[in-house]
Amino acid sequence: MSDDSPTVRELDEATVERIAAGEVVTRPARAVAELVENALDAGAERVDVTVDGDGTDRIRVADDGHGMSRADAVSAVDPHTTSKIRAADDLRGATTLGFRGEALAAIADAGRLELVTNDGGAVGTRVTVADGEKIVDDAGRARGTTVVVTDLFGDRPARRESLASPAREFGRVSELVTAYALARPEVAFSLTHDGRETTSTPGTGTRDALVALYGRETGGESTAVTHRAGVDLAGREAALTVEGRLCYPSTTRATRDHVHVAVNGRPVRDDDLRRAVARGYGSLLPSGRDPVAVLRLDVPAWAVDPNVHPAKARVAIRGGDTVGDAVEAGVREALTTADLRRAGEVAMDLDSSLAPVEASESDFADATVLGVFRDLYVLCEAGDDLLVVDQHAAHERVNFERLRAALADEAVPAAALDPAETVTLDPPTAAAVEEHREELARLGFAVDPFGGTTYRVTQVPAPLGRVADAEALRGVATDLRESSGRGGADALRDDLLADLACHPSLKAGDALDRETATRLVERLGECERPYACPHGRPTVLSLEASTLADGFERH
């Protein structure tokens, strides 16, 4: 017998009276709910539900939980027996899904019940209850429990009369399994109706469960929410966790039924919490529409009374408004970053579609300029791609390559500074100037010490008439310091040219007419390395038409 299988006891009368009154099993879906809750309470990782017809014919729930010893299995089907609470005081804050100790007995009363269970021993137990008679015998079964209910309401014609169509009754079972599967995404669920599996979740988390239940388009287009808050629940400090997944508002529903909320692992139909979720979506939702979302709330057990509804479909949370506010905040926060993340995904697509483009494939030649966006970006059509060219970065690249070609192996032309200017450097940079004076001269600088770490600059580089200013010394000397030993003079020269290329280049924000923009794109196409500015930033991003199609969900 395993240690983790708890002992089933009979509750005392006072506790029985405190338990919310009401018939437990009013329709097949209620029986399914109770059996699924028992499976989850038993720590199941798999729950398989099978329903025939409207459920009155046959319901079967099998789990791989901790099972029951023979003695417990025999008493579990008696009224008011439970392993989950001992006294009325345990009712508030019960952490198990079941706690009333009446489900199995009520089901056995309303139909024919067969329970096969094994808590890890060599032989399992079968308990059959029919017409108030209990039969117990051996049964082969792996650890876990299977409950089969047949002929539900067989002797209660009024109950049978009150049932809706089989499709509708099965619909309720299906909604219920969906709710538990989303409340417990780490548990694998399956639902089979008349021999056909209609639903199954892999037990590998909320996203997979959502995809399994709602399809890839809805479930996959979702973002995670995790929100922790310390809240004041009716005067007592409580740690609250909100987690789950929010489907993008590109999918909405006409009802709030697809906002799945669970509190401490129990699915609840709580309209206040559902509304709080919708409020968190805010104006992202078209009016009159509700989202598809899964939210699991964890609050301390003392703050929750699960015993306020006969079907346990609602719970009472102390300080419920505060909880609603936290849910709303968590949802809003997650969606704000989700929008960024979605944009980020597109941006990554940009990067990746950019990365493999080699200079040789460069075909700005057949790019047609469509226009200029915000005086920053030139938009071009090139085959199936939309190219976005950063006009400033593109111009830097063009200037840089022109400068470098013009200067080839020559020393950088210089211009005298008259009057000379002084530049004060920090000590390490000053030391670099002293050390690399020769290189500085080749780069076009002439500097004299002027006391301390101050230098008089009498000559500056002036390639192609682009005169650097004295302050450029600071940048070049810093580069010299940082690159001492590496890169060498060529790299430095390139850096200097890059800086110079930058100065007279078009600034982002300069208005370009279409003709200039076209020329810029052509020149960029002629560059050796057109895809990065001399400082290494990208000059062009390309967006494939298919990325747009994905983004707009044109599948």
| Binding site residues, ligand ADP, CB under 6 A | 6, 8, 34, 38-39, 42, 63, 65-68, 76, 81-84, 98-105, 145
Percent composition of the chain: helix, strand, coil (DSSP 3-state, to 5): 40, 25, 35
497 binds, among Mg ion, ligand ADP, none (CB under 5 to 8 A by kind): none
Residue ranges of the alpha helices (H) in 408-435? 427-435
81 binds, among Mg ion, ligand ADP, none (CB under 5 to 8 A by kind): ligand ADP
Residues ≥6 apart with Cβ < 8 Å to 519 = none
Q: Nearer Cβ to Mg ion, position 312 or 397? A: 312
20 exposure class (CB count in 10 Å sphere: 0-12, 13-18, 19+): middle
Residues ≥6 apart with Cβ < 8 Å to 252 = 285, 286, 289, 290, 291, 292
Q: Rounded distance, CA 74 to CA 134, Å?
A: 8
DSSP state, residue 90: G
Quote the least distance from Cβ 20 to ligand ADP, whole Å: 12
Quote the least distance from Cβ 147 to ligand ADP, whole Å: 7
Q: Nearer Cβ to Mg ion, position 103 or 209? A: 103
Q: Nearer Cβ to ligand ADP, position 68 or 403? A: 68
Q: Nearer Cβ to ligand ADP, position 82 or 201? A: 82
Quote the least distance from Cβ 15 to ligand ADP, whole Å: 11
Q: Nearer Cβ to ligand ADP, position 67 or 249? A: 67
Q: Rounded distance, CA 493 to CA 306, Å?
A: 74
Q: Rounded distance, CA 29 to CA 418, Å?
A: 93
Minimal CB distance to Mg ion: which residue? Answer: 98
Quote the least distance from Cβ 41 to ligand ADP, whole Å: 6
Dihedral sign (CA 13, 15, 16, 20): positive
Quote the least distance from Cβ 40 to Mg ion, whole Å: 10
DSSP string, 340-356: HHHHHHHHHHHHHHHTT
294 binds, among ligand ADP, Mg ion, none (CB under 5 to 8 A by kind): none
Quote the least distance from Cβ 83 to Mg ion, whole Å: 10
Phi and psi at residue 491, in whole multiples of 5°?
Answer: -65, -40
Q: Nearer Cβ to ligand ADP, position 88 or 231? A: 88
* Site residues for Mg ion per CB under 5 A: 38, 98, 103
Quote the least distance from Cβ 341 to Mg ion, whole Å: 41
Residue 307 identity: N
28 binds, among ligand ADP, Mg ion, none (CB under 5 to 8 A by kind): none
Q: Rounded distance, CA 123 to CA 292, Å?
A: 45
547 binds, among ligand ADP, Mg ion, none (CB under 5 to 8 A by kind): none
Minimal CB distance to ligand ADP: which residue? Answer: 98
Q: Nearer Cβ to Mg ion, position 98 or 124? A: 98
